[in-house]
Chains A and B, each alone.
Chain A
Amino acid sequence: MARTGPKNTARRVLTWLGAIFVVLTAVLGGGVISGHASWAPKLALDLEGGTQMILAPKVEGSGDINEEQLNQAVAIIRQRVDGSGVAEAEISTQSGRNVVVSLPGTPSRETRALIQASADMNFRPVIAVGDGAAIPVESRTPEDQLPVPAAAPTNASDSNWVTADVVKAFEALDCVNPATDRQERSDPAKPLVSCEPSTGLKYILGPVEVKGQDITESSFSQVQGAQGSVTNAWGVNIVFNGDAASKFKAVTERLNQFYIAAGGEIGNDPKSQFAIVLDDQVISAPRSLAVITDGRPQITGNFTQASAKALSDQLRYGALPISFEIQSEQQISATLGGEQLRLGLLAGLIGLLLVVVYSLFQYRALGLVTIASLVVAGALTYLAIAILGWTENYRLSLAGVAGLIVAIGQTADSFIVYFERIRDELREGRGLVSAVENGWKRAKRTVLASKAVNLLAALVLYFVAVGNVRGFAFTLGLTAVADLLVVFIFTHPVLQLLARTKFFGDGHRFSGLSPDRLGAVPLYRGAGRLRTPTEKPAVVRARNTGAVAEAERRMTIAERRLAEKQGQLAGSSNGTKEEK
């Protein structure tokens, strides 16, 4: 058989579809093998069960919270929830006002208290530093060699703070794989052992000396050199309020002595460092290079612009005593979600079955193409959801499932539009092969335009809306894309190939494209038998209306009269109802 252009193209396109499937499956399979992904899509809270808390952040002293503060609030909550050992918590903002925390399971009273509390930032002097890993039990300091403080500590840097208990806690502390069940706040008057997550070091810290609330301003800038020239190094600038400025001056006076005693730049006495502690974690522990008398310290060293900004932001929100009020707390039972999902899927399946029956009834064998296309679209969507669940932590919610069920109709519509255009072409008297090509050309435009509306709706909803609506919008958008892909790279090429089969090409009466059943009249039916206008009324409304109009204009008067006469006959025979 001769190789025709469209046929080869169709085959090539279908190969591409196969390739897409292989790649997606391989990506997901790779994820599953490496243990990060799973074949099943991730489920959202309403299907998996858990707790959703909606928190309203409150800033002491000021009423409304601005966007920047809200983002800081999210950062605080994220740090706290992660720190409290809740795996896979989701934290997001809602309508520029609230923070939504979704946790699997039921949070303990302590976790809730921790989440609600206001940010706790303060400055503590460092007493000792160690590597992050926990010291193995056998090599820890024996009980009899543990330090016993000789006297009451005289200042916050005093080694007398280091009691036997503190040493035990310090040696046991593991900053490499931090324990995640921290649920209580430290006492500001007592020493603290804590990790610095950014460096992995652990510290013994003295009692709190300056509180975070005393920071009035925090910014970041390029460090000025000795002559006032701008250097490439970045620094973070803090401004303390009056009271704290004098306290900080006393602290730096003490710490700076350690710094000088240890030999300045080359020295390495941990006691010359002070630690900035946020929610009991060290975020930075700079050395005190000078006595700060004006309450305006600058932290320098190894900052990039981004890390300087990060620290400056942390300092600023640490200074903000944001607390959270639980606006709503919803416990979602996993059984309820599971049951809803099961029944929802059952109902969806029944619905799909009805669609299958209806398509077969309406389109006969062509209905099978609809079903195959839906299956392909479904498989693509499924793979996409599973992969997004892995890479983007996308979770399928009940609303999302609803979106998928709704999408069946809109996806099938693309095929219906296409099939109807092919039928129109057949009614015009074309052969199936050219009817498929011409019908596609026209259907393509309609499908693209209408899907653009769908995508637009999904995009707008996704970006503007919150919570449930978002998940729904996402699935809707996803299915619209899958639909477009399938129409272009599955349905159309399959039809191109089918049009060349005997069953469809000869217009079998079960093919759904039988010209006889569609009342098609061939354009040319052998010698001397031309179609009369009554048999083929829609002459002028043909696909190439522009050309027809142009041809009309170029006709001689006699020709035009004749054509008009024919047209009138056609018009009067077909348009009786319209002309009443």
Chain B
Amino acid sequence: MTSSFATFGNELYTGKRSYNFVAAKKIWFIIAAVAVAVSILVPAVKGGFNLGIEFRGGSEFTVSNVKTTSAALGEKAVHDVVSGAVPRVANVAGTTMRIQTDKLSEDETIRVKEGLTSAYGVTDNEVTSTFIGPTWGQDVTKQALIGLMVFVGLAAVLMALYFRTWKMSLSALVGMLVTMFTTAGVYALSDFEVTPSAIIGFLTVLSYSLYDTVVVFDKIRENTADVTTSSRRTFAEEVNLAVNQTLVRSINTMMVAVLPVAAILFIGAGLLGAGTLRDLSLALFVGILIGTAATIFIAAPLYAWLRQGEPELVKQAKKVAQRRADAASEAATV
């Protein structure tokens, strides 16, 4: 298996085996467009995201060291006090229960607290109550969005300076946007709660997405540095070769990045229940997979397509075609 993977790498490097990421760009772009459209439609149809208590506001109770993790007990304790309430009861981390309700009055809070204490058979100080204002999560999100915009702006400038072309910046950003929308779409679809932790995961995904693109683009930069003086391959072919040559790296990096996240998401989710780590790891898990794919299928082909029309590269492509035609005719005459 390893040997076949090594051979796979060798063949990708020499160009013996090559996947047409760049040439088949239309298919990828259509897939991406559909994915983005669905990602926008899903939350719109479903009536928005499943927002966490930090965004809705409300009261939250945490009961530790419970004897049983039955959700019905918690629901009953809330209903006994506020009959019309729709509490969300969840088991978080082993023997801890979390009960979220709409905002309760001080008196109600104390009564629910007492109810929970007797329902779960715990002592007084094992039940804690929290009141969260609805603006809290919004504040975090607002700042995160500002941060996002500043980051994207600076990253675009940084990439444009490093690669000496704004077209790489633009392609990388488009790839990142596709990642962003699709990850958000998966979040809406999965019905996971959007908590500040999920927002953090989301921001990391964007940074990862750009990071991954820069690694691949650096190889493209290397391969295409002298493309105008060579008639071996067209620009698009050089880009495609670079993507193929870094494919093994992309797969390895994705695996290494996704494995710990997957461990938290799949192993941890069972043990942890709802909470910071699970919320964060879902965003990361989805984002890393999509981010890696977006680099290969969206950012790189888009870059090739953006540059393809430049007069110098058109001339170079003609030269390549001419050389190939010559070779073909020569081969025929021999």
- Min CB distance A65 to B, Å, is 14
User: Given A343-B272, A546-B225 in contact, is the A328-B130 Cβ separation under 8 Å?
Assistant: yes
Contact of A362 with B by CB under 8 A: yes
Across the interface, do A577 and B18 meet the contact criterion of CB distance under 8 Å? yes
List A contacts of B263 (CB < 8 A): 347-348, 350-351, 354
Across the interface, do A335 and B65 meet the contact criterion of CB distance under 8 Å? yes
Across the interface, do A351 and B275 meet the contact criterion of CB distance under 8 Å? no
Across the interface, do B139 and A574 meet the contact criterion of CB distance under 8 Å? no
Interface size class of B (residues with CB under 8 A): 35 or more
B139's partner among A408, A466, A575 (CB-CB below 8 A) is A466
User: Given A453-B155, A464-B150, A578-B15 in contact, is the A358-B255 Cβ separation under 8 Å?
Assistant: yes
List A contacts of B204 (CB < 8 A): 403, 406, 457, 472, 476
Closest to A329 in B: B131
Give complex CA distance A337, B150 in Å: 32
| Interface SS of chain B | helix
Which stretch of B28-36, B38-46, B205-213 is in the interface?
B205-213
Give complex CA distance A354, B277 in Å: 18
Contact of B190 with A by CB under 8 A: no
Contact of A449 with B by CB under 8 A: yes
Interface size class of A (residues with CB under 8 A): 35 or more
Q: Restricting to A291-350, which residues have a CB under 8 Å from any CB of B?
A: 326-333, 335-336, 339-340, 343-344, 346-348, 350
User: Given A335-B96, A472-B200, A578-B18 in contact, is the A446-B132 Cβ separation under 8 Å?
Assistant: no
A402's partner among B255, B277, B323 (CB-CB below 8 A) is B277
Contact of A30 with B by CB under 8 A: no
Q: Restricting to A335-383, which residues have a CB under 8 Å from any CB of B?
A: 335-336, 339-340, 343-344, 346-348, 350-352, 354-355, 358-359, 361-362, 364
Across the interface, do B260 and A408 meet the contact criterion of CB distance under 8 Å? yes
User: Given A348-B260, A412-B256 in contact, is the A457-B200 Cβ separation under 8 Å?
Assistant: no
Contact of B324 with A by CB under 8 A: yes
Counting chain A CB atoms within 10 Å of each CB, the highest count among B7, B147, B197, B199 belongs to B147
The total number of A-B Cβ pairs within 8 Å is: 315
Which stretch of A120-128, A202-210, A416-424, A487-495 is in the interface?
A416-424
| Interface SS of chain A | helix
List A contacts of B199 (CB < 8 A): 469
List A contacts of B225 (CB < 8 A): 545-546
List A contacts of B11 (CB < 8 A): 519
Counting chain B CB atoms within 10 Å of each CB, the highest count among A97, A330, A402 belongs to A402
Contact of A541 with B by CB under 8 A: yes
Interface string of A442-474 (1 = CB under 8 A from B): 100110011011101110110111111100100
Contact of B143 with A by CB under 8 A: yes
- Min CB distance A29 to B, Å, is 30
Contact of A31 with B by CB under 8 A: no
Q: Restricting to A117-161, which residues have a CB under 8 Å from any CB of B?
A: none
Across the interface, do B284 and A354 meet the contact criterion of CB distance under 8 Å? no
Contact of A571 with B by CB under 8 A: yes
List B contacts of A333 (CB < 8 A): 62, 64, 96, 126, 128
- Min CB distance B278 to A, Å, is 10
A54-B136, A568-B330 given. 19 additional CB < 8 A pairs?
A346-B267, A346-B268, A355-B260, A399-B197, A409-B257, A412-B256, A413-B211, A420-B252, A424-B245, A446-B214, A446-B219, A450-B215, A452-B158, A452-B162, A461-B151, A465-B144, A469-B196, A538-B15, A568-B323
A-B CB contact pairs (8 Å), 18 listed: A46-B276, A327-B135, A329-B130, A333-B128, A335-B96, A343-B94, A348-B263, A398-B277, A401-B277, A405-B261, A408-B257, A424-B13, A450-B218, A457-B206, A537-B15, A541-B223, A575-B237, A578-B233
